[in-house]
Amino acid sequence: MVKMTDTILIEKGISRIEWADREMPVLQQIRKRFEKQKPFKDKVFAACMHITTETANLVRTLKAGGAEIFLCASNPLSTQDDVVYALQRHYDINVFAKHGESNKSYYQNIQNVLESKPHFVLDDGCDLVNYLYTKRPDLIDNIIGGTEETTTGVQRLKAMERDGMLKYPIIAVNDALTKHMFDNQYGTGQSTLDGIIRATNTLLAGKVFVVAGYGWCGKGLAQKAKGMGCKVIVTEIDPIRALQAHMDGFEVMPMISACKKADFIVTVTGNKNVIDLYHFVEMKDGVIIANSGHFDVEIDLNTLKNISLKVKEVRDGLEEYTLTNENSSKLEWVPNNKRILVLGKGRLVNLACAEGHPASVMDMSFANQVLAAEFLSNTTLENKIYSVPEEIDKQVAFYKLQSLNLKIDRLSLEQRNYINSWQEGT
C-alpha cells in the first residue's frame, strides 16, 4: 500500500524532476527523437549514477528510446529519496538506492542492478564496472558497451585498459569538451560553494579559501570563490597547472603552508590523502574542510578520528572534530582542543550537502551520455576506451546554443580554404 508520506515524496520528486527538465532542452530534443526511433528497443541498461533530478531525466530519455533501466547510486550520500520514489512509482524505472545507505547496501544494490543481465553499463566513478569484473565476470559476455561519466572513473578504466582487462568498448563521456569544460568547471564551481553555504550558512567574503587541485573542477571552484570575495590559495602537484593558477591571479603554495592560513579548504584532485595528519595539526581552530572530488579518500578522516577526543554533528552535514594528544604518546605534538569542521563526511560536498550540479550543465553531460550509448549500439568497436566522437560533441554544443537562442558566425568558403592551406603568408 502507498503511504501518505510516500505520496508526498513521489509528488515532490516529480515536480523537481520536471523543474530540472525545463533546463535540459538538449536532452528533451533527443528524447523526442528517441520516442519515435526507439534506438534501444529490447536493450537493458545498468546505470550507477548520482540519483538526482537530472539523472532522472537521463534515464527517462533512455526509456523513451525503448531501454529497460536498472539504476543504483554512485555514492551513498548523493541519493535524493524523492527522486527514487518518483522514478520507481511514476516513471516505472527500476531503482535500488536510499540516501545514507550503508556500504554493504550500496554494493548489494550494485549487485541487484547487475542481476538484470545488462547490454549496456553506464557508470560514474567505475564502482559498477569494478564489481562486474571482480564479482560477476559471468555477465560480461552479454555487454555491448559502456560509458563513464567522471574523471576518476576514466582514470580507473585507463588503468584497466593498460592491464589488458577491458572486455567491451567504453566511451569516456568525461573527455567530451561539452562535458568537462562545463560540468566539471562551472557545475562543480557553483555547486561546491552551494554545498558549503547550505551546510554552514557562513559568510565567504574576506575568508581565505584553499583549493587543492587546479584541474577542470578546481579552476571553476577557485573562480567562483574569488567571485564571492574570498582570498583564494591554490595547491597543486603539476607545474603547468600551478603556473596557470598563478597567472590567473591566485596565490600558489604547498598545502603545508596553505593549511595554516585557511578558513576553508576544499580538495578536488581525484587523489588520496591530500589532507592528512601533518595538515590537521597546522590548521587554524574552526577551519572548515570539504572534498568535492569523486571519492571520500582525499581527506584522511581515519587519522582525524584517531587524533580526536570527540566528534559532534553541529549542523546537518557538518561534523566538528576536537583534537586531542591523549590517544598516543607519539602524538604529543597534536594540539589539544583545536576544532576542525568536516562537511558531508568527506564525500563530494556538492552532492552530500546540496543537490549537485545545476540542470543546465547536466543537460550537456547527459546528452553526451545518451548519444554515446546510441553510438555504441550501432557501431562495432574494439575493446578499448574511446572519446565521444567529435561530431556528437559539436552537435551537443550546437543544440545548446540553439536552445539559448545564441547565433554564431559561419566560415566563408575563402576562410575555410585559408585555414586549410599552407601557401598563403604575409
Residues sharing a CB contact under 8 Å with residue 323, sequence separation 6 or more, in sequence order: 280, 281, 307, 308, 309, 334, 335, 336, 337, 338, 339, 340
* 214 is a contact residue toward ligand NAI (CB under 6 A): yes
* 55 is a contact residue toward ligand NAI (CB under 6 A): no
- Give the C-alpha separation, 319 to 27, whole Å: 38
To ligand NAI, the closest distance from the beta carbon of 163 in angstroms equals 20
**What's the Cα-to-Cα distance from 112 to each of 82, 210, 218, 414, rounded to whole Å?**
20, 40, 35, 58
To ligand NAI, the closest distance from the beta carbon of 266 in angstroms equals 10
Nearest to 372 by CA among 390, 348, 359: 390
* 200 is a contact residue toward ligand NAI (CB under 6 A): no
* 387 is a contact residue toward ligand NAI (CB under 6 A): no
* 188 is a contact residue toward ligand NAI (CB under 6 A): yes
* 293 is a contact residue toward ligand NAI (CB under 6 A): yes
Contact 171, 389 (CB under 8 A): no
Contact 145, 169 (CB under 8 A): yes
To ligand NAI, the closest distance from the beta carbon of 312 in angstroms equals 26
Contact flags string 10-49 toward ligand NAI, x per CB under 6 A: ----------------------------------------
* 150 is a contact residue toward ligand NAI (CB under 6 A): yes
If binding means CB under 6 A, how many residues of this protein chain bind ligand NAI? 28
To ligand NAI, the closest distance from the beta carbon of 99 in angstroms equals 17
By beta-carbon proximity to ligand NAI, the closer residue of 257 and 379 is: 257
By beta-carbon proximity to ligand NAI, the closer residue of 184 and 200 is: 184
* 290 is a contact residue toward ligand NAI (CB under 6 A): no
* 145 is a contact residue toward ligand NAI (CB under 6 A): no
Angle between helix 151-162 and helix 127-135 axes, rounded to 10 deg: 30
Q: Name the grid cell of 257.
A: 603552508
Enclosing H/E stretch for 104:
helix 103-114
* 76 is a contact residue toward ligand NAI (CB under 6 A): no
Nearest to 149 by CA among 178, 175, 177: 175
* 241 is a contact residue toward ligand NAI (CB under 6 A): yes
Residues sharing a CB contact under 8 Å with residue 66, sequence separation 6 or more, in sequence order: 34, 38, 39, 40, 41, 42, 43
To ligand NAI, the closest distance from the beta carbon of 174 in angstroms equals 7
* 184 is a contact residue toward ligand NAI (CB under 6 A): yes
- Among 200, 269, 308, 368, contact with ligand NAI (rule: CB under 6 A): 269
DSSP-based three-state secondary structure for 385: strand
- Contacts with ligand NAI by CB under 6 A lie at 150-152, 180, 184, 188, 212-218, 235-238, 241, 268-271, 274, 292-294, 348, 350
